[in-house]
Structure formats: structure tokens, C-alpha cells
Amino acid sequence: MAMMGLGILFVVHPEFTNSIAHRLGVQRGADLMFYFFLVGAMYGFLILYMRQRTLQESLVKLTRSFALEHAIEPPSLDQRDELSGQ
């Protein structure tokens, strides 16, 4: 809600973004907003990447657990010889 409120404020009063940009050493308010967008997008991508890695690790653990619970014992050497016909 705060971001939406700031967005509306910046659209209604663009001189406000210009004054903030000048205080921060940026020429235009639009440039400042673009820089904020870049930082926010990189943060969002980082959060999504970390969440994806967590889900991937959980899936690996679940798959390993399932495989171990449903493992079939391999045939012994004697049974292998019988199956191969020797």
C-alpha cells in the first residue's frame, strides 16, 4: 500500500521526485525512479532465486526419501546366475 501511495504521489506531483533526485545528486526524478526500480528488481530476483533453491532442495530430499523407502533389494549373485542361464 505504501508503494502504491508513493506512486500516486509521484505521478500527481512530479516536481517532488525532481527535488528528491537533486538532493541525492541525480539530474531527473525519472532517472531516480529508474534506479530505484533496478535495485528493487534485483532484490526481487534474488528473493525468487533463493525461494527456488529452497524448493529444489526440498524436492531433492523428498525424492531421496521416497527412493529409499521404496527401494528393491537387488538379486544376490546366485539369483543373477540363475537369471542369466549359467
**Domain ranges for the chain:** 2-69
pTM: 0.66
The percentage of the chain sitting over the pLDDT mark of 90, rounded to a whole number, equals 72
Q: Give CA–CA dist 20/43, Å, rounded.
A: 22
Q: Give CA–CA dist 43/24, Å, rounded.
A: 21
- Residue 75: the pLDDT is 72
pLDDT per position as a tens digit, 46-71: 999 999 999 999 999 999 999 999 98
